[in-house]
Amino acid sequence: MRSEMKVKDLSEVRCPKCGGRVKFTLWNFLDSDLNIEETYMLTSGSFFMHTCSNCGARFNVYHSMSFNDPRSRSFIKYIQTDQSEEVKRELVRDLSKFVKEKGISGYTFKVVFDPDDFIESVRHVRFEQKPSSILPLRAICGKSDA
């Protein structure tokens, strides 16, 4: 019996401002053809944004997930980790090995470890733009890199 990946889960975090509980849907996988609204939210920069119903604070909750775009035959895996560069390289090698073992061809696979890189990569495959022409999320939200 083949195991199926769970596409989404319900999750809860504490508001960083007031400590209130904020419930949200934690997506593990998005398909651009099946999850049109969520794909739009991802490309617009609002996908990871949540609002506390208690105090109104808005904050991002980043989490690992995958994105599939059948039209461009692209698969992007975002892994949220603070692991070493060697561990990151091992994760990429593991995905490459999986793709080779499964005989998956005709797809472009990308692994990213930064949420801005993930959003930019999704925008790139969805809108066929050069990644350098897309503003990162931190620029849209007014975050600084300092």
For residue 22, the enclosing domain spans 8-140
In-domain check, residue 123? yes
Sign of the CA dihedral 31, 34, 38, 44? positive
Provide the pLDDT for residue 23.
Answer: 95
Burial label, 138 (beta-carbon count in 10 A; 0-12, 13-18, 19+): middle
In-domain check, residue 2? no
Number of domain units in the chain: 1
Provide the pLDDT for residue 5.
Answer: 57
DSSP code for 67? E
Which parts of the chain register pLDDT below 70?
A: 1-5, 129-146
Matching residue, tokens 């969805």: 126
In-domain check, residue 1? no
Supply the pTM of this predicted model. Answer: 0.78
